Structure 1
Amino acid sequence: MIRVALIEDDADIRDNLMLIIDRAEGFSCRQAFSDVQEAGKSLLNDPPDVLLMDITLPGKMNGIEGVEFLRAAGATFETIMLTVHQEEKLVFDALCAGACGYLTKNTPPNRILDALREA
């Protein structure tokens, strides 16, 4: 069972991702949050196998800063960034911060699940 956590500020997208993950065989969406500050302690105390995180988030940290923060705090789980942005600089910055992958929000559900499996 692949344990997945989500950080996505759009409630509709977050709910849809939770449904996709929970309905897929071999996956469980264990936690879902709207920002990094809300997620931090919980993810470190009960780490998922993979975190799927938006880049554009409310609060003090965006997703790229969130990856850096979680890594510095000792997180060992893999992080895949999910966003509407397709700029090469954001992809590069996300990977340099410690993300293992990068998906756009229009990625088909089966490809999202494949990426979670491969992480």
Structure 2
Amino acid sequence: MLKILVVDDHAIVRSGLVMLLNGKHDMEVVGEAAAGEEGIQAAQMLTPDVVLMDLSMPPGMDGLTATEKLKQLIPDMAILILTMHDDDEYLFRAIHVGASGYILKSAPHEELLTAIRSVAAGNAYLYPTATKRLMNEYMERMKNGENSGTYESLSEREREVLARIAKGFSNKEIAEQLVISVKTVESHKSNVMEKLGLKTRPELVKYAAKKGLLNFE
């Protein structure tokens, strides 16, 4: 029997999920929470097999922050993001903070049940169109000869410079923070852009967001 914790700020949504999941022979909802902080506490107390985590829960802690904190406390916890946001940025951020899966609230019930069973078994789950988009992006990069331009190809210093540029720091500020010259910062920036095949600052910021290098709290 899979033990499931439902974290969503909408009572009606929680009620529908509880009815659906408790109606399955291999699932049981052991708890509910209406906010990120409450979800973390419930997960620690109830130790569910799977946490169904909503993405947006104003005005409290959002689902991504709650997921990141919960994974720090219980690394093996399977967390499935359940959201209305069909958005690449949210998807990449969810993966970065440790979510086991990402599925839309508009998905058919059977797909949700499949996702829950999949992450409970230790697998990752992405809804079909998201998987297709990720594959298309990868194939496009391969076609353009960008497959060697990965984050892993950057040096530790280049990664530090990349993160700070994306967060809006000037070359002078970065130089002061890393105790290096402005000229060295410019050199690292040039290397980063060349290795990653990026041409503009917005492209660099988007890349950094996908890699989870920005603080969104």
TM-score (norm: length of structure 1):
0.94
Higher strand fraction (1 or 2): 1
CA distance in 1, matches of 2:83, 2:67: 14
How many residues are matched? 119
SS at match of 1:80: strand
Q: What are the superposed Cα offsets for residues 13-55 of structure 1, whole Å, 9 maximum, x if unpaired?
A: 1100010000012000111110111222221122100011110
CA distance in 2, matches of 1:77, 1:71: 6
Question: What's the CA shift for 1:75?
Answer: 4.7
SS at match of 1:56: coil
Cα RMSD after superposing both structures: 1.1
Q: What are the superposed Cα offsets for residues 74-118 of structure 1, whole Å, 9 maximum, x if unpaired?
A: 352200101110110100100110001111111111111111111
TM-score (norm: length of structure 2):
0.53
Gaps of 5+ in 2: 120-217
Greater relative contact order structure (CA < 8 Å, 6+ sep): 1
CA distance in 2, matches of 1:74, 1:114: 23
Whether the aligned pair in 1 keeps the contact of 2:55 and 2:63 (CA below 8 Å) is yes
Whether the aligned pair in 2 keeps the contact of 1:4 and 1:49 (CA below 8 Å) is yes
Matched residue type, 2:40: G
CA distance in 2, matches of 1:71, 1:94: 12
CA distance in 2, matches of 1:18, 1:78: 18
Whether the aligned pair in 2 keeps the contact of 1:64 and 1:93 (CA below 8 Å) is yes
**What is the aligned-residue identity percentage?**
26
CA distance in 2, matches of 1:95, 1:63: 12
Higher helix fraction (1 or 2): 2
Alignment match, 1:10: 10
Gaps of 5+ in 1: none
